[in-house]
Amino acid sequence: MIDRLSNALVCLSVCLFVHLPRCGAQQVFSNDDGIREANFAARVVLMDEFIRRFNNDSSSEIRRYYLSHRRPFDKTREQLIRSLFNYGMAWDSVELERFVRRATNPENPEKLGFLADRWYAEARCGFLYHNAPVEVRLILRVQLNPDHTAEWVIAAVKPALELKEAAAEVRPPVLTGKRRLFIQPAANDTYFAELERDFADKRGLPGLFDSQFFERRSSGAFYSALMSDQLKFVAVREIKYHYLQVHDWIFTVENFDRPTRNSGWLITSIRPASTEQRLDYEKKLLEE
């Protein structure tokens, strides 16, 4: 009962998180217009914005919204992180507060980094395998290159059915040169739509995978099926992000498209985890 009441109070605070701008004498909003504006302002549209709000970054869109309407932005980092939870589900309020306190510890605050290690995108994709629909989950990570550029690389694959293994060990050539194929760092904003073009480029295909990809389960069969056109990419259906950047915690983020303030990219699970548990989680995610 206490947890339910606490969840309800936190949810109410999120609903009131974005206040509508005051209307002048010449500015009249209908209730519907005002609700839509507040929903749009609070919605976490991109993962970049999720990271900025989690970190209480001065460039966050929610902060810009307040300032553009000449309203002081007085939200604390604790409030911002609480607003990033999906309140369409029940939460253990004690565990939630432990997570928030750990992330905002004044002596050692934990912040998320787009270019940092230990976070992954899990893309649930539709493919055609021998012209029959099949689901394959791609695990991608951001790779920072020696020349300070960044790109997404495919770290592992999880087919819903067993793909036919290659007749011999697959070791594609190492690509070099300025025209090397790669996945743009902002590709996750469009649900990796460029993969349709990239997977069709057989010569550049090796550039899409990280250096350890071919040491992981299903990698050789997946690569061979792509090269022989037995497997054809259709689209990314959903994305889930796995974060291991907050010390002693693991959390996931998913997208919620709904007409409320509590929408967009939101936290869907949190769990305390020791260093060993986090390493084990990472190995299972990468099919090692």
Residue 175 confidence (pLDDT): 55
13 and 232 in contact (C-beta within 8 Å)?
no
Residue 253 confidence (pLDDT): 98
* Cα(240)–Cα(227) distance, integer angstroms: 27
Alpha helices in 2-60 (DSSP H): 2-15, 31-42, 47-55
Strand 249-256 vs strand 264-272: parallel, antiparallel, or unpaired? Answer: antiparallel
223 and 205 in contact (C-beta within 8 Å)?
yes
User: 88 pLDDT exceeds 60?
Assistant: yes
Residue 17 confidence (pLDDT): 56
Model's pTM, two decimal places? 0.87
Residue 21 confidence (pLDDT): 43
pLDDT digits (tens, 9 = 90+) for 209-237: 999 999 999 999 999 999 999 999 999 99
* Cα(91)–Cα(135) distance, integer angstroms: 30
Q: What is the mean predicted confidence (pLDDT) over 11-24?
A: 45
User: 98 pLDDT exceeds 90?
Assistant: yes
Where is average pLDDT lowest: 70-74, 140-144, 150-154, 243-247? 70-74
| Mean residue pLDDT across the chain | 87
In this prediction, residue 71 has a pLDDT band, given cuts at 50, 70 and 90, of: confident
Per-residue DSSP letter, 247: T
* Cα(30)–Cα(244) distance, integer angstroms: 43
Beta bridge partners of 242: 120, 252
Beta strand segments in the chain, E: 119-129, 132-144, 150-159, 231-243, 249-256, 264-272
Helix or strand (DSSP H, E) at 102: helix 93-103
